[in-house]
A and B are shown apart, each in its own frame.
Chain A
Amino acid sequence: GAVVSQHPSWVICKSGTSVKIECRSLDFQATTMFWYRQFPKQSLMLMATSNEGSKATYEQGVEKDKFLINHASLTLSTLTVTSAHPEDSSFYICSVYPGNQPQHFGDGTRLSIL
């Protein structure tokens, strides 16, 4: 199955900082990657679909100017949380859909904004 690497695994930043999270598909060329967010004691919520070479597709209620997604190659998608505030503190996780298989997830990034 696909191997997905996500970095960093843990970030603690001051309010107002922009934070970039990387998601790499190590053994699968992913034209599409997915970004999820999970608040404490809640389930994973899809934020956006990252499309290689084109604009990301955002789910309803997710601010595209707040959460910038770049998918410049078939193996790398990045999520940048711009001007992060404490309410953006969450567990962010990416996934890859290899086709005819279940999705494979990165290890996730725990973001804490002070």
Chain B
Amino acid sequence: RKEVEQDPGPFNVPEGATVAFNCTYSNSASQSFFWYRQDCRKEPKLLMSVYSSGNEDGRFTAQLNRASQYISLLIRDSKLSDSATYLCVVNSETSYDKVIFGPGTSLSVIP
């Protein structure tokens, strides 16, 4: 089993839609969880950290379910500028300061 798995996508949604991405991780001892976005041919940029109680940042809501080893990202009122690849990131099983990237889910928001 891969350490981090995500919905394969791609997701093609109209502007204004709500879209949810799912991610599962294999290391039950993981403590750090993040969502990054990556635009084509660019470096990943941190979107938000994911906290145990769940957290929200504007139109973005992240949830963590430790029992199921599952992370989600919800985007409300999608904008064209949200089009990107969304990467689920979890700290490595072997080393706390290393992180493992999921394969990413591609989102295209259509006018």
Contacts and interface: CB of A to CB of B under 8 A. Distances in A.
Contacts of A44: 44, 87, 101
A28 interface: no
A79 interface: no
Interface string A34-59: 10100000111110010000000000
B49 A102 contact: yes
Given A105-B44, A108-B43, A110-B41, A46 B98 contact: yes
Report, as a range, how many residues of chain A touch the other chain. 20 to 34
Contacts of A106: 43
Given A46-B98, A102-B34, A93 B43 contact: yes
Query: Chain B: interface secondary structure?
Result: loop
Interface in A48-83: 49
Report, as a range, how many residues of chain B touch the other chain. 20 to 34
A10 B101 CA distance: 23
Contact of A105 (B32, B43, B95, B100): B43
Contacts of B97: 32, 97, 99
A49 B103 contact: no
Interface of B: 32, 34, 41-46, 49, 87, 89, 92, 95, 97-104
